[in-house]
Structure formats: structure tokens, C-alpha cells
């Protein structure tokens, strides 16, 4: 797609700003279908743990997680519709204030954050919790899109196309490591790299970055036994099936027992306290067990259609900022879906990555639906 000089600069004079119209119905429908399936699966996957409640959080209420997820889904649809009504110039104007707020919240997490499973990743807000790492993903998309539009052809130079972006990523990832939250750090680095690639950074810098990452990984495996044991467990999880490999082994049992057509909705056996995080990071394993290969393939097909539609909207945007934001949001969605499925199937080492619209979690769901609303906002400005 070709852009004129005004669009490359990220400006939006009246001569190039398209009129607002209805949003993309196909994209909205796919989001709603996946959201409805996700909320229903949270009910199926979570009720045994909610009823047993070893931490006395749910009070034995079997639908505790389902009710909260349903509430967040309803609120999230409201956020989506509101985000779809705000013009894209609004997101461009507030990109850096939003980035600053995100950095502030991330800085507060190690100091006053809520601790769970050995990490501080949440901020307590009364009876609710907020996970700033989810905000960081959107902050990277918006701020990088503004900078790319501002720098234009200068993106090919190291001073403009690499240093400012590495500075933002360095601050965000550094704060995430303090929590620690390594999976979010990996996603941010991959997302930042994708945005820089879309901005026109020279390919050679990506080669240098991959070489640096390879050297860092070698150091990590040599001097940190924990990382080395993670790789060993990934290569042969059954060698420690009662210890470090327990979670992935239970996940593979769950996926395998589903067979072609599954055990039926609600029929999973592994969710009865055998599979950890069954309603969160490993909910796709329960989906495979209950709906089988056919159901899993259907869900992945819906995600693929949503991702393709997102890129289609990005390619049709008239302004570069709109295109970059849509492409960034869609790339983030694709990354999270791929990495979650790769983790639960042991394609990559085990780490905590949620499945969009399916995994239990209020902050993530609200932010994800807000991001979908931003894509729908951009679709309103596509010429009819």
C-alpha cells in the first residue's frame, strides 16, 4: 500500500482524514464468538477447583471463576464498544501519557504489588487487581506507532530506528524482570521487534539482535542451573513427571485423551485437580480434552480468521498510524495464541502465557477487548 508524505508523517489534515462509518462487522462477530466460547469453557474448566478451593478464596462456590469472568466479559464488551467510538487521533494523542502511566504502574508492582506463586505481578485496587504488564503491550504498540510515523525514512538509521525503541523496551522489560515476569518480557521483545520491522528498520540490526540473544541464552544455560533444568524438562518432561515436568505431562495427557471428537463439554477428567492452571494458562488443554481435535481445530481456525481479518483492516487503513496500530494489535494476538498453544503442547519450554479470550483473568480480558475496539475504530475510517 502506498502512502503520501502527509500520511508517512502521521499527520491527519482534513484533506486526508476519512469520514467515520460503521465498524467492521466480520471482525466484531469473530471476537464475540471467541469470547462466548471462552467464557463457557472457563465455567467447564474451573468448577472443580472453585468447589474444592484449597486457598479458601472461592468459599466453595463452584461458579466463582465463571461469574467473575462473565462480569469482566460484559464490561469488556462495553470497553470494546467505547474504544471503537473514539477516533484514532485520540489514541495517537494519548500514546505517550499512557506509556508514562504504564511505566509508573510497573515501577510500583515490585514495591506494593500483590504476591502470588512467588511473583509480584498485580496491583491491588480494593477488591480488584490490575496487571500492568497487560497495559505495557498496548503501550508499546501505540508509542512505537507514533515514533515510526514521526521518524519516517529516518527509521533506517540506528540513531532513529533502533535507539529510541530499545530505550522504551529496556525500561519496560527491566521492570518486568523485577516482578519477575519473563513470559511478558518475551512477548514485549517480540512485539517490539515486529513493530520496528513494520517501521522499516534495516534487516541487519535484527540479525545482530538475534546473535546477541543467542549469546545471552548460552550464558544463561551455562551459569544458571534453573534455566538449564527448564530446557532438560522441556526436552523430556516424562523424566521428571512428578516434579518439574508434572504440569506439561498432565497437559499432554489431557490433550491426548480428547482424541478426535473429545469427551464432551464438561467431560474433562484432568481438570479435577490433576492439571494445574486448568482455567488459566492451560485452558487449551481442557478444550482439547473436551472438544477433541475437531473442536481445537475449529477454535484455532476462528483465531486464524480473526488474525487475517485484522491484517486485512490494517492494509486498508488510509493513514500509516492506523495501519501500524492495527498490525501491532493483530501481531500481539497472533503471538499470544501461538505461544500459548506451543507451551501446552510442549513445542516450547513451559512458561505462563494466557490464551486470549479464553484464559481466566479480568485485566487481560478487558485490555484484549479494548485492543479489539481500537482495531474496530480504525476500521470505521476505511473508505467505503
Residue 116 pLDDT exceeds 80: no
> Above 90 in pLDDT, residue 157?
no
Residue 339 — very low, low, confident or very high, per pLDDT cuts 50/70/90?
Answer: very high
d(CA 375, CA 20): 13
Distance, CA of 305 to CA of 30 (rounded, Å): 8
Provide the pLDDT for residue 57. 76
Q: What is the mean pLDDT of residues 257-278?
A: 94
| pLDDT mean across residues, the chain | 88
Of 122, 78, 88, give the one whose Cα is nearest residue 329.
88
- Rounded to whole angstroms, the Cα distance separating 310 from 334 reads 10
Neighbours of 294 (CB within 10 A): 12
Q: Is 161 left (phi over 0), alpha (psi -120 to 50) or beta?
A: alpha
pLDDT in tens, 250-263: 999 999 999 999 99
Place of cell 463439554: 265
User: How many structural domains are present in the chain?
Assistant: 1
pLDDT band at 272 (very low <50, low <70, confident <90, very high): very high
Strand partners, 128: 125
Dihedral over alpha carbons 67, 69, 71, 72 (to 10 degrees): 170
User: Of 290, 295, 296, whose CA–CA distance to 272 is shortest?
Assistant: 290
pTM (predicted TM-score): 0.90
> How do residues 176-233 score in pLDDT, each as one tens digit?
988 888 889 889 999 999 999 999 888 887 777 778 777 766 766 666 566 666 777 7
The fraction of the chain above a pLDDT of 70, given in percent, is 89
With beta carbons less than 8 A apart as the criterion, state whether 138 and 371 touch: yes
Residue 17 clears pLDDT 60, i.e. is over it: no
Q: Is the pLDDT of residue 4 over 90?
A: no
CA 50, CA 365: separation in Å to the nearest integer? 20
CB atoms within 10 A of CB 194: 20
* Predicted pLDDT at 215: 78
Its domain, for residue 164, covers 5-380
Q: Which pLDDT does position 55 carry in this prediction?
A: 66
Residues 6+ apart with CB under 8 A from 8: 149, 152, 153, 320
pLDDT in tens, 311-322: 999 999 999 999
Residue-level pLDDT at 88: 96
Residue 154 or 205, more confident: 154
Higher pLDDT, 161 or 174: 174
* pLDDT at 182 (0 to 100): 83
Amino acid at each position: 500500500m502506498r502512502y503520501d508524505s502527509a500520511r508517512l508523517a502521521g499527520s491527519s489534515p482534513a484533506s486526508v482524514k476519512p469520514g467515520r462509518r460503521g465498524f467492521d462487522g466480520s471482525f466484531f462477530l469473530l471476537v464475540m464468538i471467541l469470547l462466548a466460547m471462552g467464557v463457557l469453557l472457563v465455567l467447564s474448566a474451573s468448577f472443580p477447583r472453585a468447589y474444592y478451593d484449597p486457598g479458601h478464596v472461592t468459599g466453595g462456590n463452584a461458579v466463582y471463576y465463571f461469574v467473575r469472568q462473565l462480569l469482566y466479559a460484559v464490561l469488556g464488551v462495553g470497553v470494546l464498544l467505547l474504544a471503537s467510538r473514539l477516533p484514532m487521533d485520540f489514541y495517537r494523542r494519548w500514546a505517550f501519557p499512557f506509556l508514562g502511566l504504564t511505566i509508573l504502574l510497573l515501577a510500583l508492582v515490585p514495591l506494593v504489588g500483590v504476591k502470588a506463586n512467588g511473583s509480584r505481578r498485580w496491583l491491588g485496587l480494593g477488591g480488584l487487581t490490575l496487571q500492568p504488564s497487560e497495559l505495557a503491550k498496548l503501550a508499546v504498540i501505540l508509542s512505537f506507532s507514533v515514533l515510526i510515523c514521526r521518524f519516517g525514512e529516518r527509521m533506517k538509521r540506528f540513531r532513529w530506528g533502533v535507539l529510541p525503541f530499545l530505550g522504551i523496551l529496556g525500561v519496560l522489560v527491566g521492570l518486568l524482570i523485577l516482578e519477575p515476569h519473563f513470559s511478558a518480557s518475551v512477548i514485549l521483545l517480540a512485539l517490539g521487534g515486529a513493530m520496528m520491522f513494520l517501521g522499516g528498520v534495516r534487516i541487519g540490526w535484527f540479525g545482530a539482535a538475534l546473535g546477541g540473544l543467542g549469546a545471552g541464552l548460552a550464558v544463561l544455560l551455562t551459569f544458571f542451573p534453573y534455566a538449564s533444568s527448564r530446557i532438560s524438562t522441556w526436552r523430556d518432561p516424562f523424566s521428571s513427571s512428578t516434579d518439574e515436568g508434572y504440569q506439561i505431562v498432565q497437559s499432554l495427557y489431557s490433550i491426548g485423551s480428547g482424541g478426535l471428537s473429545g469427551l464432551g463439554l464438561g467431560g474433562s477428567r484432568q481438570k479435577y485437580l490433576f492439571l494445574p492452571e486448568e482455567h488459566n494458562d492451560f485452558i487449551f488443554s481442557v478444550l482439547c480434552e473436551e472438544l477433541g481435535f475437531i473442536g481445537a481445530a475449529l477454535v484455532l481456525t476462528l483465531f486464524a480468521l480473526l488474525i487475517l481479518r485484522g491484517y486485512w483492516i490494517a492494509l486498508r487503513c488510509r493513514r500509516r498510524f492506523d495501519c501500524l496500530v492495527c498490525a501491532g494489535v493483530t501481531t500481539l494476538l497472533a503471538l499470544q495464541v501461538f505461544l500459548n498453544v506451543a507451551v501446552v503442547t510442549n513445542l516450547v519450554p513451559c512458561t505462563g502465557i494466557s490464551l486470549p479470550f479464553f484464559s481466566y483473568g479480568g485485566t487481560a480480558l478487558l485490555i484484549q477487548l479494548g485492543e479489539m475496539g481500537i482495531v474496530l475504530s480504525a476500521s470505521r475510517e476505511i473508505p467505503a
